[in-house]
Amino acid sequence: MHTDAVHQSQFVLLNNSSTPVLSRLSFHVDEPYAVTVSFRTERGRWVEWTFARELLATGLTDPAGLGDVRVRPDLSEDEAMLTLEIESPDGYASFELEREDVESFLDSTCELVPLGSESEYFDIDALIEEISNV
């Protein structure tokens, strides 16, 4: 069976809370440069953030990101965890992700689109057509 997407759900900790939040990492071949992380809110709705897959991969070993999304190893407290920080005009949130879950997710995305070969899977003509028809 051939798939063109990867989805992985896990529970994460928000702002050092002891109550986990359901999250989902997603990757689609037709958007090979990006990953989406979604968090389930109290009302059962999902909040989504899309950012560079490369940022997530770099964040496994080194701090990555300068803008609204930052990923870094949590070496000060637990090597098995990563910290994902998200900031917007509406607020700030810090999530703890299990490194093993993120590594597994990235491995699955690389089976579909190896890092560095995204341009081979990206249809620029379709993107231009989509934004031209707005």
pLDDT digits (tens, 9 = 90+) for 114-129: 988 787 776 666 666 7
Q: Which pLDDT score is estimated for 69?
A: 93
Q: Is residue 125 part of a domain?
A: no
Total structural domains in the chain? Answer: 1
For residue 64, being part of any structural domain is answered with yes
Q: Is residue 59 part of a domain?
A: yes
Average pLDDT over residues 5-34: 83
Q: What is the DSSP letter of 63?
A: -
What DSSP string runs through 70-122?
EEEE-TTT-TTEEEEEEEETTEEEEEEEEHHHHHHHHHHHHHHS-TT-GGGT-
Of residues 91 and 112, more confidently modeled: 112
| Whole-number pLDDT of residue 67 | 85
Tell which residue, 73, 76, 77, has the closest CA to residue 61: 73
Whether the Cβ atoms of residue 119 and residue 127 lie closer than 8 Å to each other: no
Token pair for residue 23? Answer: 């999250």
- What per-residue confidence (pLDDT) applies to 1? 44
Q: Is the pLDDT of residue 134 over 80?
A: no
pLDDT tens digits, one per residue of 65-81: 988 999 999 766 678 88
Tokens of 90: 């509406």
Residue 129 lies in a domain: no
Interior CA angle at 61 toward 100 and 48, to 5°? 65
Q: Is the pLDDT of residue 34 over 70?
A: yes
What pLDDT sits at residue 75?
Answer: 67
Q: What range does the domain containing 99 cover?
A: 5-116
Is 127 a domain residue?
no
CATH code of residue 94:
2.30.31.20
Does the residue 124 lie in any domain?
A: no
